[in-house]
Amino acid sequence: MQERLGEDLVVLRRFARDTAPALMTTVAAVAAQAPLRHMVTPGGHSMSAAMTCAGALGWVTDARGYRYQGCDPETGRPWPVMPEIFAELARQAAAAAGFPNFVPDACLVNRYQPGAKMGLHQDKDEKDLSWPIVSVSLGLPIVFQFGGPKRSDRPQRIVLEHGDVVVWGGSARLHYHGVLTLKAGQHPLTGGFRYNLTFRKAG
């Protein structure tokens, strides 16, 4: 099923359901090399979702600000290479939404435990904002908020469930977005967590 929520925002319901078990095995392999951690914002707050990255570039936040960089600050090593199964899923989803030839160089992995959330924000640290962002939701459902180009624009809410893939491009690319607090639950594949993979062309 494919829904368009406004211009340039395509929800591919359950697009990743069949690959989800292999994606989760791969997330575990990535996290074994680059541990999930709660990064600290420039304002000194710990993010409630645990994060790690794969690919040539990874997103980091610390006292100095937000940026992409090639090495994991926790380990000093390059981020794990972008798994082929990740890149292929992102390419297929982007193509299905009308963005052919998407080759992501960064995958951010967010792991939400009950109580975790992500406030409204824009993603604008990527060099070329004409590429879309592809997001893959795994495990427990969450309420996603999708606003407009201004923080004060009233957000729409949609529930993102296991296997849902969303492609954000064009005008949607710079819209404010976030997720509400994760409610406790159990999912057969991810246990008490929700995972979100976002694929970006950052460099």
Give the number of other Cβ atoms within 10 Å of residue 90's Cβ: 28
C-alpha distances out from residue 3 to 167, 169, 176, Å: 11, 14, 19
* Identity of the residue, 11 or 87, whose beta carbon is nearer to ligand MD3 in the bound complex: 11
Angle at 97 between CA 91 and CA 146, to 5 degrees: 105
Residue of 202, 197, 40 lying closest to 111 (CA atoms): 197
Q: How far is the CB of 162 from ligand MD3 (least distance, A)?
A: 13
For residue 120, the minimal CB distance to ligand MD3 (Å) is 9
Residue 70: CB minimum distance to ligand MD3, A: 19
DSSP notation for 98-144: T-TT---SEEEEEEE-TT--EEEE----SS-TTS-EEEEEEES-EEE
Spatial CA neighbour of 162 closest among 115, 112, 102:
112
Kindly determine how many residues on this chain lie close enough to bind ligand MD3 according to the rule CB under 6 A. Answer: 15
The verdict on whether residue 164 carries a ligand-binding annotation is no
Contact region with ligand MD3 (CB under 6 A), list: 18-26, 34-42, 148-156, 166-174: 166-174
Residue among 106, 173, 182, 201 that touches ligand MD3 (CB under 6 A): 173
Is position 123 an interface residue for Fe ion (rule: CB under 5 A)? Answer: yes
Stretch that binds ligand MD3, among 19-27, 86-94, 98-106, 175-183 (CB under 6 A): 175-183
Contact, 196 vs 136, CB < 8 A? yes
Question: What type of residue is 182?
Answer: L
Judged by CB under 6 A, which stretch of 12-20, 60-68, 73-81, 172-180 contacts ligand MD3?
172-180
Confirm whether residue 68 is marked as ligand binding: yes
Residues in 128-147 at the binding interface with Fe ion, rule: CB under 5 A: none
The residue with its CB nearest to ligand MD3 is 196
Judged by the rule CB under 6 A, the positions of this chain that interact with ligand MD3 are 108, 110, 118, 123, 133, 135, 166, 168, 172-173, 175, 177, 179, 196, 198
